[in-house]
Amino acid sequence: GGGWDSNYLADDPEYDDELRPKRLSEVVGQRQVVERLEVFLDATRKRNEPLGHLLLDGPPGLGKTTLASVLPRELGTELQITSGPALSAPKDLLPYLTNASHGSFLFIDEIHRMPATVEEFIYPAMEDFRVDITLGEGLNARTVNMKLQKFTVIGATTRSGMLTAPLRDRFIRREHLDFYEDTDLVEIVRRNARKLKTPITDEAAFEIARRSRGTPRKANNLLRWARDFATSKADGNITDDIVKRAFDMLEIDQIGLERQDRRYLETLIKTFSGGPAGVQALGHSLNIPADTLEDEVEPFLLRSGFIQRSPRGRIVTMAALEHLKLNPPDAGPL
Ligand code: ADP
Closest residue (by CA) to atom 6 of ligand 1? Answer: 63
Q: What is the pLDDT of residues 8-67, one digit of tens each?
A: 333 445 445 689 999 999 999 999 999 999 999 999 999 988 999 999 999 899 999 999
| Region 144-148 average pLDDT | 93
Q: Is the CB of 216 under 6 A from ligand 1?
A: yes
Using the mean position of ligand 1's atoms as its centre, give its distance from the Cα of residue 162 in Å: 23
**C-alpha distances in Å from residue 277, one per residue of 162, 264, 307, 315, 316:** 22, 11, 11, 7, 9
Q: Is 95 helix (H, G, I), strand (E, B) or coil?
A: helix
**C-alpha distances in Å from residue 248, one per residue of 168, 203, 225, 296:** 43, 17, 12, 22
Whole-number pLDDT of residue 159: 83
Q: Is the CB of 33 under 6 A from ligand 1?
A: no
How far apart, in whole angstroms, are the C-alpha atoms of residue 60 and residue 58? Answer: 7
Using the mean position of ligand 1's atoms as its centre, give its distance from the Cα of residue 66 in Å: 5
Pocket test for ligand 1, best of 14, 24, 55, 66 (most atoms within 8 A of CB): 66
List strand residue ranges (DSSP E) for 247-318, in order: 307-310, 313-316
State the closest ligand 1 atom to the C-alpha of 191, by its place in the atom list counted from 1.
25
Residue type, 89: A
Cα–chain center distance at 318: 29
Using the mean position of ligand 1's atoms as its centre, give its distance from the Cα of residue 307 in Å: 26
Whole-number pLDDT of residue 203: 97
Cβ(201)–Cβ(239) below 8 Å? yes
Catalytic residue among 20, 57, 65, 213: 65
| Region 233-259 average pLDDT | 94
Whole-number pLDDT of residue 170: 96
Percent of the chain beyond pLDDT 90?
Answer: 83
Q: Is the CB of 214 under 6 A from ligand 1?
A: no
Q: Is the CB of 27 under 6 A from ligand 1?
A: yes
Residue 5 has pLDDT above 50, yes or no: no
How far apart, in whole angstroms, are the C-alpha atoms of residue 51 and residue 104? Answer: 9
Reply yes or no on whether 64 is catalytic.
yes
Catalytic residue among 66, 157, 158, 317: 158
Burial of 93-130, coded b for 16+ CB within 10 Å and e otherwise, reads: bbebbeebeebbbbbbbbbbbbeeebbebbebbbeebe
State the closest ligand 1 atom to the C-alpha of 217, by its place in the atom list counted from 1.
12
Pocket test for ligand 1, best of 4, 15, 20 (most atoms within 8 A of CB): 20
Q: Is 166 helix (H, G, I), strand (E, B) or coil?
A: helix
DSSP string computed for 217-246: HHHHHHHHHHHHHHHHHSSS-B-HHHHHHH
Asked whether the CA dihedral 142, 143, 147, 152 is positive or negative, the reply is positive
Q: What is the pLDDT of residues 109-126, one digit of tens each?
A: 999 999 999 999 999 999
Given pLDDT bands bounded at 50, 70 and 90, which one contains residue 134? confident
Residue 279 has pLDDT above 50, yes or no: yes
How far apart, in whole angstroms, are the C-alpha atoms of residue 252 and residue 221? Answer: 13
Cβ(142)–Cβ(135) below 8 Å? yes
Reply yes or no on whether 65 is catalytic.
yes
Q: Return the higher-pLDDT residue of 199 and 5.
A: 199
Using the mean position of ligand 1's atoms as its centre, give its distance from the Cα of residue 217 in Å: 6
How far apart, in whole angstroms, are the C-alpha atoms of residue 302 and residue 310? Answer: 12
Reply yes or no on whether 267 is catalytic.
no
Whole-number pLDDT of residue 329: 63
Reply yes or no on whether 170 is catalytic.
no
Q: Is the CB of 221 under 6 A from ligand 1?
A: no
Closest residue (by CA) to atom 20 of ligand 1? Answer: 63
Q: Which residues contact 227 (CB under 8 A, 6 or more apart)?
A: 193, 196, 198, 236, 238
Whole-number pLDDT of residue 137: 84
Residue type, 117: T
Residue 6 has pLDDT above 50, yes or no: no
Closest residue (by CA) to atom 13 of ligand 1? Answer: 20
Whole-number pLDDT of residue 330: 58
Residue 3 has pLDDT above 80, yes or no: no
Residue 161 has pLDDT above 70, yes or no: yes
Q: Which residues contact 279 (CB under 8 A, 6 or more apart)?
A: 290, 293, 294, 298, 313, 314
